[in-house]
Amino acid sequence: MTTASFEVKAYPEMWAELEMDVARFDKARQMLGEIYGKMFLGQSARPRAMAYFDTMISEIFGARIQEMRAAKQEGRPVVGTFCVYVPEEIVVAAGGICVGLCGGSQGSVPDAEKILPRNICPMVKSAYGFKAGRICPYFQVVDFVYGETTCDAKKKTWELLDRLVPTHVMEIPQMKNPRDRALWLAEVKDFKAKVEEVCKKRVSVDDLARAIGVINAKRRALQRLTALRAATPAPISGKDALLVEQIAFYDEPVRFAAQVNGLCDELEERVAAGKGVGPAGAPRVMVSGTPMALPNWKVHNLLETAGAVVVNEESCIGTRYFKDLIAEDATTLDDQLAALTDRYMQIDCSCFTPNNERVDQVLKEYRDSGAQGILHYSLQFCHTYNIEEIKIREACEREGIPYLAIESDYSPEDVGQLQTRIEAFLEQIRE
């Protein structure tokens, strides 16, 4: 597949059946294909195994949607989520499909701003705008969505989203004391009851054990990919690794894990042969902060176009999603749900207070990845990450780590300014 021949495939009849704004969405499809072809397929020394993930993008609005529609016909509901705190294992255990719905595109933001305030998180606006404008087949195919209370913009937007698609909300406590864990466990049990109601299936011990094994396998594959990126030279670009992490929220999990492990087999051969991507001595950068929902590739593209290689993502799209596994030795449902709750409590989102473990995790991942500098990325109006950035910056100053903090949205308007700042940051690393 070449840059010139790449295309995100069109399925206008299916999109019409899903009651989408087909004409408008088709323009976005074409634009995505052009951007993807230039940004990804033009890279040199790209792993052969990335061909599968290219195909996933080519069929992201087509074949994958057809798979979900087929599952629905079999009585297997499709559940949309917006946060890594929502336990996908329970959806899989009930026979359903779990798919991420976070918005990473500027194109849907104007739809949201007809209703929502302009000065809130672009990810929230983008996601809401996809449904309001009927320009996302994933939003159109889901049976219901599960939101959560990690920030004020989200939890109030879910009230309005419920008018457009059935929306249920999971309460995420803001601290991690014993009473907070009890609340969280109760929410997990309520989530299970709701999923069972919609799926018309009671989840058994064996069902949940199988699902925990499936999702653990997916996370292990992503952990393996992250570990291989620590090699010098890096065997895969940050853009390609980010793409794999993003597709983790869309693809069928067993198939996805197999493909990631196949990619890792190739990367192990590269590491053994000393073969890498990017120029020799390229500055190694770790990106931390807010998630980068597909197709938000702006920061990685700017870094790697400027000659760096991104070697880690400390974010919900990255290690925060897959660094922790669920214990697989529980023999009762109660023990399984307790183990599941304990695993999800380890996620160090900035919504928590205090959240010192995230500072420690950032420093650990910096060392483990062999990075030479940290770029902290915050979305505009993401108050928790923007404020917590102060602690990350202070920790980097104490450790003598080259550091850059940027705040941005999905529009291209600040690309020139960011490029200048990123180039200066990379010069600091090279000195």
pLDDT tens for 150-170 read: 999 999 999 999 999 999 999
Query: Rounded to an integer, what distance in angstroms lies between the CA atom of residue 128 and that of residue 123?
Result: 9
User: Is pLDDT above 80 for 30?
Assistant: yes
* Distance of alpha carbon 276 from alpha carbon 202, whole angstroms: 48
* Cα 396 to Cα 89: distance, rounded to the nearest angstrom: 36
Retrieve residue 257's tokens.
Answer: 């894990």
pLDDT band at 5 (very low <50, low <70, confident <90, very high): confident
Chain centroid offset of residue 421 CA? 25
Under 8 Å between Cβ of 312 and 337: no
pLDDT of residue 296: 96
The rounded distance, in Å, linking the Cα atoms of 44 and 327 is 40
Q: Which residues pair with 405 in a beta bridge?
A: 376
Q: Examine the pLDDT at 3 and tell me if it is beyond 80.
A: no
Question: How many angstroms separate the most distant Cα atoms in the chain?
Answer: 61
The pTM (predicted TM-score) of the whole model is 0.97
pLDDT at 2 over 80: no
> CA-to-CA distance for 110 and 114, rounded, in angstroms?
7
Region of residue 109 (phi > 0: left; psi between -120 and 50: alpha; otherwise: beta): alpha
- Cα atoms in the Cβ-side hemisphere of radius 13 Å centred on 30: 7
| Residue the block writes with tokens 């998180």 | 121
- pLDDT band of residue 4 (cuts 50, 70, 90) is low
pLDDT at residue number 280: 80
Model confidence band, residue 69 (pLDDT cutoffs 50, 70, 90):
very high
333 CB contacts (<8 Å, ≥6 apart)? Answer: 203, 204, 205, 208
